[in-house]
């Protein structure tokens, strides 16, 4: 897979989403080509570069759970509403996120990526905001399908 930093359209979609939803953070994670691990490839509004070093196992953390379930996830008051260990959610810890809405990205009908928007305060994402994230996810699926190897 090519490095996403070279993909200006992906960066534009993420930056535009950050503005439209007025969130603190937007992250894009993709499952590795070989193996089940998931890695964060791009972030907007990040506090540091820790996201680049985060790899989660399939089924772990926000990204791993979304890819394994193929379903969106909402957290409104992290870490108060999670099951399991706080350390299983490294993106939330690294970016000091308290709330997030994250959706899967599908390639050939298989969940292989995650688009996450987050805020550093307790927050409930509205249906309109969730719709904006869903629409951005579909745009990213289209932009990235040439880069994803299944």
Burial (CB count <10 Å: 0-12, 13-18, 19+), residue 42 = buried
pLDDT score for 100: 97
**Is residue 20 in some structural domain?**
yes
Judged against a pLDDT cut of 60, whether residue 1 lies above it is answered with: no
Q: What domain range is 59 assigned to? A: 4-144
User: Is 66 within a domain?
Assistant: yes
24 lies in a domain?
yes
In a domain, 96, yes or no: yes
Q: Is residue 149 part of a domain?
A: no
pLDDT digit string, tens, across residues 6-49: 678 899 999 999 999 999 999 999 988 777 889 999 999 999 99
pLDDT digits (tens, 9 = 90+) for 76-129: 999 997 877 888 899 999 999 999 999 999 998 999 999 999 999 999 999 999
Q: For residue range 49-77, what is the model confidence (pLDDT) as tens digits?
A: 999 999 888 888 899 999 999 999 999 99
Asked if residue 74 is part of any domain, the answer here is yes
Q: What does the pLDDT read at residue 82? A: 81
Handedness of CA 75, 80, 85, 86 (dihedral sign): positive
Q: Are strands 110-119 and 38-44 parallel, antiparallel or unpaired?
A: unpaired
Does residue 150 belong to any structural domain of this protein?
A: no
CB atoms within 10 A of CB 130: 16
Give how many domains the chain has, as a whole number. 1
**pLDDT (0 to 100) of residue 28:** 96
CATH number at residue 134: 3.30.450.40
In a domain, 123, yes or no: yes
């Amino acid at each position: 897979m090519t490095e996403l930093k070279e993909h200006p359209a992906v960066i534009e979609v993420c930056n535009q989403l950050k503005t439209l939803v007025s969130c603190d953070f937007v992250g894009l994670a993709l499952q590795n080509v070989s193996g089940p691990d998931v890695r964060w490839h791009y972030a907007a509004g990040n506090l540091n570069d820790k996201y680049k070093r985060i790899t989660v196992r399939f089924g772990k953390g926000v990204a791993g759970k979304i890819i394994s379930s193929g379903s969106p996830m909402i957290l409104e008051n992290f870490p108060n509403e999670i099951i399991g260990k706080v350390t299983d959610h490294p993106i939330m810890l690294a970016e000091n996120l308290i709330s997030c809405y994250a959706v899967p990205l599908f390639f050939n009908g298989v969940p292989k990526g995650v688009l996450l928007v987050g805020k550093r305060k307790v927050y409930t994402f509205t249906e309109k905001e969730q719709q904006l994230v869903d629409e951005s996810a579909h745009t990213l699926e289209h932009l990235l399908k040439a880069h994803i190897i299944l």
